[in-house]
Amino acid sequence: MARFGLVLVIALAILGFMSFSEAQLKMGFYDKTCPNAEKIVQSVVNQHIQNVPSLAAGLIRMHFHDCFVRGCDGSILINATSRNQQVEKVAPPNLTVRGFDFIDLVKFVLESKCPGIVSCADIITLATRDSIAAIGGPTWSVPTGRRDGRISNATEARNNIPPPFGNFTTLITLFGNQGLDVKDLVLLSGAHTIGVSHCSSFSNRLFNFTGVGDQDPSLDSEYAANLKTRRCLSLADNTTKVEMDPGSRNTFDLSYFKLVLKRRGLFESDAALTMNSEALSQVRRFARGSEQDFFAEFAKSMEKMGRIGVQTGSDGEIRRTCSVVN
């Protein structure tokens, strides 16, 4: 009898695992329910990316920030419904995130073709991949089937999104919390090869690094002087934008890693990659390697990140409007 009970438990466990596996992400999830879903996303991206190539940087940042809070569930898109509600959007790391209107546009087009089928979480993931590919960057596989989360919390965003002023210990802890490792940290930091940053994200490195009006010694002095005299003129400047990869902010390439080795990464988190031997080894490898190899490995890390904490099956919901929980 005891043996029968054990067999029954094992059988139920296997069935449960099978059900769980079947509910997970898969390629072509919408093939039957909305056959052209992925083509529609790609089409809308391609229609806009040529006029606004900076969209790619905005979307990959949104995807990154979304996945680090409750998983890749589109919770970053949710608007507050009351004055006291503190959603992810209002957390300091997300105040400069762009692309919300674009995601709304893609959702509108999809809803007109396949109402209530495609999740906002999948839209972010697909649009990010398609926008990076559209500017000549890598592409990667995006299994779909994510469901949208119902909870959005500013405190969770503040506590879980790796900050630009993070040291290596902070960064690897936050990445590790999501099942990502040192190699993922270095590869995903490579996305800083595109886009811009507000001075407020790094100006303390220029004017008040330790609180006594000093400059960050890990930042190249010539680069710092250039920033102080031509871009970020004071610690109070929170509007000026600076290219993270000067001269090629819309080109996905290896130059970010080369800048980091020259101590010209804009953020403390960039410099942090040189403070750990394993991370530094990876930075050097990519800086000296081929773009093809970087693209291939970046793609793997993006696929890995895109699976963080996903809701599938009957969990979550498919929002009708990305900014509002049903």
Residue 66 contacts residue 73 (beta carbons within 8 Å): yes
pLDDT per residue as tens digits for the range 136-161: 999 999 999 999 999 999 999 999 99
163 assigned to a ligand binding site: no
Same domain, 107 and 227: no
Biggest CA-to-CA distance, the chain: 81
Q: The domain containing residue 222 runs over which residues?
A: 168-305
Question: How many structural domains are present in the chain?
Answer: 2
Torsion of Cα atoms, 312 then 315 then 317 then 322, to 10°: -60
65 is catalytic: yes
The mean pLDDT value for 186-211 works out to 96
Q: End of a domain among 160, 188, 213?
A: 160
What was the pLDDT predicted at 248? Answer: 87
Q: Is residue 188 part of a domain?
A: yes
pLDDT at residue 6 greater than cutoff 90:
no
Same domain, 218 and 293: yes
Same domain, 205 and 278: yes
pLDDT per residue as tens digits for the range 73-95: 999 999 999 888 999 999 999 99
- Name the token pair of 316: 């979550």
pTM over 0.85: yes
d(CA 95, CA 82): 18
Q: Report the amino acid identity of residue 146.
A: R
Q: Is residue 29 part of a domain?
A: no
Same domain, 233 and 135: no
pLDDT at residue 16 greater than cutoff 80:
no
193 assigned to a ligand binding site: yes
Q: Is residue 252 part of a domain?
A: yes
CA 253 to chain centre: 17
pLDDT at residue 8 greater than cutoff 70:
no
The mean pLDDT value for 261-275 works out to 97
The mean pLDDT value for 14-40 works out to 76
In percent, the amount of the chain with pLDDT more than 70 equals: 93
Same domain, 141 and 192: no
Q: Which of 48, 63, 65, 198 is catalytic?
A: 65
Same domain, 141 and 249: no
Q: Is residue 26 part of a domain?
A: no
- Count of other CB atoms within 10 angstroms of residue 221: 11
Position 12 confidence tier, pLDDT thresholds 50, 70, 90: very low
Task: Fill in the DSSP letter of residue 222.
Answer: H
Q: Is residue 179 part of a domain?
A: yes
216 assigned to a ligand binding site: no
Q: What is the residue-averaged pLDDT of the chain?
A: 93
Same domain, 131 and 203: no
As beta bridge partners, residue 324 has 321
197 assigned to a ligand binding site: no
182 assigned to a ligand binding site: no
The CATH number of whichever domain residue 251 belongs to comes to 1.10.420.10
Same domain, 189 and 299: yes
What was the pLDDT predicted at 84? Answer: 85
Q: Is residue 5 part of a domain?
A: no
162 assigned to a ligand binding site: yes
Q: End of a domain among 136, 160, 184?
A: 160
245 assigned to a ligand binding site: yes
Residue 195 contacts residue 252 (beta carbons within 8 Å): no
Position 59 confidence tier, pLDDT thresholds 50, 70, 90: very high
Helix (H, G, I), strand (E, B) or coil at 26: strand
Same domain, 52 and 79: yes
Same domain, 210 and 100: no
